[in-house]
Amino acid sequence: MNTKYVTDNKGKKVEVIIPIKDYQKIIEELEDLKDVRAYDKAKASKEVSVPIDEAFKMIEKKRKAR
């Protein structure tokens, strides 16, 4: 990774400049990590899961009932 730093008047690093490809990769990995954490949280909750097709049917039924 070709990293560059922006410093203040005292030489303290205050910002980082990285190539856009590296930035995009970091963002993708953070989004994947967010998904994994959400999955882990859902599994740990011990709540009863509903198949996605059933969930969509339930949502549509509620929409039509309005």
Q: What is the pLDDT of residue 22?
A: 95
- Prediction pTM value: 0.58
In this prediction, residue 25 carries a pLDDT of 96
Residue 19 identity: P
pLDDT at 50: 84
User: With 90 as the cut, is the pLDDT of residue 65 above it?
Assistant: no
Provide the residue type at 13 as one letter: K
Give tens-digit pLDDT for 7-61.
999 999 999 999 999 999 999 999 999 999 998 998 898 888 888 999 999 999 9
Tell the burial category of 18 from Cβ atoms under 10 Å away from its Cβ (0-12, 13-18, 19+).
middle
Distance between CA 36 and CA 39 in Å, rounded? 5
E strands in the chain: 4-7, 13-17
Terminal CA-CA length for the chain: 53
Query: Which residue range(s) make up the domain with 47?
Result: 4-65
Overall number of domains in the chain: 1
